[in-house]
Amino acid sequence: MNDAINQPLPKAYGAIVEETQRLGFTMPSDIQTCALLRTLAASKPAGRFLELGTGSGLSTAWILDGMDNASTLVSFDHDDALLAIAGKYLGHDQRLSLVRSDGADWVHENEGQAFDFIFADTWHGKYLLLDEVLAMLHPGGLYIVDDMLPQPNWPEGHPEKAFAFIEQLESRDDLWIVKQHWATGMIIGVKRC
């Protein structure tokens, strides 16, 4: 076995990759992570999905690909240029709500909402406001983060933050987690019932 995906890519993925590279976006989700997201998304029929950090819509495209028609996805980012790419290729999908918002504002304005699947790919829901975002996860719901192995774009001081975040997840009594030393470093958590 190797890591090759050998399954169809989401329809818009190639075009989003091209535009993302043209823009010079330096923090795109990698394709292995995206493939894992699609597979896990398919485990939540009629699910409510949340993505914190749309970027240009790379991971969004894969999550949508795994979701069934009764599922919905809210995805936010604060960057207009990135959201414009996501909107151009994915905005027609009725299941998707693309939101332009600062992460802290979105989380505070949406406390009380509940989701079956959360991909936390920005500061909020990961390094910031973790309790608030995990409170939005249904029992049995999936919490997923990537970029937990050292990345070339990590700023100074980030390794310490990453270690502290991992310890925080390990010590929670409302989550079972698995750390995967694979792709960019994934952690998958399930909210305990």
Ligand X SMILES: C[S@@+](CC[C@H](N)C(=O)[O-])C[C@H]1O[C@@H](n2cnc3c(N)ncnc32)[C@H](O)[C@@H]1O
Q: Where are the alpha helices (DSSP H) in 48-113?
A: 58-66, 80-90, 103-109
Shortest distance in whole angstroms from residue 143 CB to ligand X: 15
Cα separation, 25 vs 44, in Å, equals 30
Q: What are phi and psi of 18, to 5 degrees?
A: -60, -50
Residue 122 as a binder of ligand X (CB under 6 A): the answer is yes
Q: Site for ligand X (CB under 6 A): which residue of 12, 67, 73, 82?
A: 82
Residue 77 as a binder of ligand X (CB under 6 A): the answer is yes
> What's the chain's Rg over C-alpha atoms?
16
Residue 90 as a binder of ligand X (CB under 6 A): the answer is no
Q: Site for ligand X (CB under 6 A): which residue of 72, 84, 88, 123?
A: 123
Residue 58 as a binder of ligand X (CB under 6 A): the answer is yes
Shortest distance in whole angstroms from residue 178 CB to ligand X: 20
Axis-axis angle for helices 80-90, 13-23 (nearest 10): 160
Residue 71 as a binder of ligand X (CB under 6 A): the answer is no
Coil vs helix vs strand at 104: helix
Number of residues that bind ligand X (CB under 6 A): 17
Residue 165 as a binder of ligand X (CB under 6 A): the answer is no
Report the residue number whose CB is nearest to ligand X.
55
Count the helices and strands in the chain (H runs, E runs): 7, 7
CB nearer ligand X, residue 149 or residue 174: 149
Residue 189 as a binder of ligand X (CB under 6 A): the answer is no
Cα separation, 73 vs 118, in Å, equals 10
